[in-house]
Amino acid sequence: MQSLSDSDCIELIKINNNSYVETVKTTHMTLAMRKGLWKCAKEIVHALHKKGIDNRNQFDMESRLILKEIQNLKSTVESSLPMSSINPAFQWAQSPNEVYINVKFAHKIDAPATLNVEANNVTLLEGKLFLQASDGRKNFILDIELLGDIIPDESFWTMASVGRMVFTLKKQTASKWTRLLKNNRKIQNMHFWWEMNEKHKDELEKLDEEGGSKAGGSDEVKKDKKETVDLPTASADSNIVNSTLEESSTTNSTIVVDEESLRKQEETRRIEKETKQKIKDLDEEIKRRKREIDIKAKESKSLLDQEYNNRLEEINKESDLKLIQANRMLNGENQAVEDGTQSVVGNEL
């Protein structure tokens, strides 16, 4: 069967008028499956069925072996492909003393995460974070320059569940960063971590009230003002300054719009998450109540069964007692009749 085609194989197991040879066996089916002669394998199954032979066990065993070989081949093919590089999605938030970055190993924050990812290179410098991680097929790279300086030796990271990685970066000085990145442009897949921000909201507001420093805030404003004062010496320079200010205003508006859109997206996700949790809790509550009802029903049935058995036992005892009494009365009457008969006979004698 090694060099046969489907049609050749079928011809070998058939004779005229579509009748099957008597020597067909389940091993012929497994051989046809191994050679990929699927039409012939179907004909062999029909032949085995006509002979009353059950071939399900052999089919299941051979199917598992074939699937295992396909999986091994798939792994070999995937491992030979060039590894794709992906910039992972991430969220960020801060407290007065730390910056938190939640990396999700996916190309989007709402896309399924890649599991079994291991960090191959994590580099923390005073103003830089570099991450390279991989699962063997996908290569995730995050390379960002931070707005302020951190203390690398006091910063750390942990691998979280479901394809995530969390960084805790120690700030060199207690401050409130106006943004995460040194560059004012928002990079793709960067999001604000609203849940973590809520945990430290009061601390940040207290820092503002106490007049704490802002990284990338007041110093940059002063610098912009100084440059504005030095520039307007002629009308042409004034036009340049006005154009620059307009561009800056447009950029700031875009950032505000982006932040507002981001906030709305995060709020929508939060509501969806809470709704799903409520539905899950409701399902659990329904299941719990159903279990309680089942338990109570079983207890009630057990009590009813016990009461029925007790009552049946009482009835049986009463019946037995009445039967005994009836037998005694009957025996007494018979004895009286017998005694009377003997007395009459004695008198006659």
Q: What is the pLDDT of residues 9-60, one digit of tens each?
A: 777 776 433 555 556 777 888 888 888 888 888 888 888 888 888 888 889 9
Tell me what the mean pLDDT of segment 209-216 comes to. Answer: 73
Highest averaged pLDDT of the listed ranges 188-202, 241-255, 290-304, 335-349: 188-202
Looking at the DSSP assignment, which residues form a beta bridge with residue 20? Answer: 14
Through-space distance between the first and last CA atoms of the chain, rounded to whole angstroms: 115
Q: 68: exposed, middle or buried (C-beta count within 10 Å: 0-12, 13-18, 19+)?
A: exposed
pLDDT at 234 over 80: no
The answer to which of 179-188, 191-200, 224-233, 337-346 has the lowest mean pLDDT is: 224-233
User: How far is the C-alpha of 90 from the C-alpha of 104, rounded, in Å?
Assistant: 6
**Which band of pLDDT confidence, cut at 50, 70 and 90, is reported for residue 147?**
very high
Query: Could you tell me the residue ranges of all domains in the chain?
Result: 6-80, 84-219
Give tens-digit pLDDT for 56-84: 888 999 899 999 988 888 877 766 666 77
Predicted confidence (pLDDT) at residue 254 exceeds the cutoff of 50: no
Task: Report the sign of the C-alpha dihedral through residues 32, 38, 39, 45, in that order.
Answer: positive
Answer whether 204's CB lies under 8 Å from 95's CB: yes
Residue 348 scores a pLDDT above 70 = no
CA separation for the pair 205, 212 (Å, rounded)? 10
Q: Please give the C-alpha separations between residue 191 and each of 49, 170, 256, in angstroms, as whole numbers.
A: 62, 20, 14
Per-residue pLDDT for 108 more than 80? yes
pLDDT in tens, 169-195: 999 999 999 999 998 888 889 999 999
Question: What distance in Å separates the CA atoms of residue 133 and residue 78, rounded to the nearest whole number?
Answer: 18
How far is Cα of residue 53 from the mean position of the Cα atoms in its chain? Answer: 44
- Binned at pLDDT 50, 70 and 90, residue 149 comes out as very high
Q: Distance (Å, rounded) from C-alpha 102 to C-alpha 92? A: 6
Q: What is the CA radius of gyration of the chain?
A: 44
Fold adopted by 84-219 = Immunoglobulin-like (2.60.40)
Instruction: Report the distance separating Cα 271 and Cα 206, nearest Å.
Output: 28
* Confidence band for 232, pLDDT divided at 50, 70 and 90: very low
Contacts 24+ apart (CB under 8 A), 269-272: 269/110, 270/194, 270/195
Residues constituting the chain: 349
- In this prediction, residue 216 has a pLDDT band, given cuts at 50, 70 and 90, of low
3-state secondary structure of 19: coil
- Residue 98 confidence (pLDDT): 97
Residue 97 gets which letter from DSSP? S
